[in-house]
Copies of this chain bind each other. A is one copy, B any other.
Amino acid sequence: MRPSSSVFDGVLARGGVAEQVSGRAWLQALLDFEAALARAQAGARIISEQDAEQIAAVCDADRYDVAEIGAGAAEIGNPAGAVVKALKAVVDAPVHLGATSQDAMDTAMMLVVKRALVPLLDDLRGAADAAAALANAHRDTPIMGRTLLQEAKPTTFGLKAAGWMVSLDEAADNLHNVRLAYQLGGPVGTLEPLKLDLGLDAPLLPWHTLRGRVGELAGALGVACGAIAKAARDVTLLPEVRERVGGGSTSMPHKHNPVAAISALGCARQAPGLVATLLAAMEQEHERAAGAWHSEWAPLNALLVATGSAASWLRESLEGLELRTHLGDDTDTGAAATLVDRALENR
Contact = CB atoms under 8 A, between A and B. Distances in A.
Contacts of A5: 3-4, 23, 66-67, 70
Contacts of A263: 74, 77, 291, 294
Nearest to A159: B190
A266 interface: yes
Interface in A263-310: 263-277, 279-295, 297-299, 302, 306
A229 B295 CA distance: 12
A48 interface: no
B338 A212 contact: no
Contacts of A162: 205
Given A212-B223, A285-B237, A339-B192, A271 B265 contact: no
B336 A190 contact: yes
A119 interface: no
B153 A187 contact: yes
Contacts of A76: 247, 249-250, 257, 259
Contacts of A128: none
Interface string A104-127: 000000000000000000000000
Contact of A78 (B11, B152, B255, B283): B11
Nearest to A26: B7
Interface residue range, chain A: 35 or more
Interface of A: 1-12, 14, 22-23, 26-27, 30, 66-67, 69-79, 81-82, 84, 96, 99-101, 145-156, 159-160, 162-163, 166-167, 170-171, 174, 186-192, 204-207, 209-212, 215-216, 218-220, 222-223, 225-227, 229-230, 232-234, 236-237, 247, 249-252, 255-259, 261-277, 279-295, 297-299, 302, 306, 335-336, 338-339, 342-343, 346
A100 B4 contact: no
24 contacts: A4-B6, A5-B66, A6-B70, A8-B70, A8-B297, A9-B71, A9-B73, A10-B73, A10-B74, A75-B259, A100-B251, A146-B188, A146-B285, A146-B288, A147-B252, A149-B236, A149-B290, A170-B212, A186-B251, A222-B279, A225-B282, A267-B295, A268-B291, A275-B276
B6 A74 contact: no
A294 to B, nearest CB: 3
A268 B69 CA distance: 22
A312 B57 CA distance: 38
B286 A269 contact: no
A33 to B, nearest CB: 13
A306 to B, nearest CB: 7
A75 to B, nearest CB: 7
A281 B159 CA distance: 21
Nearest to A216: B223
Nearest to A215: B223
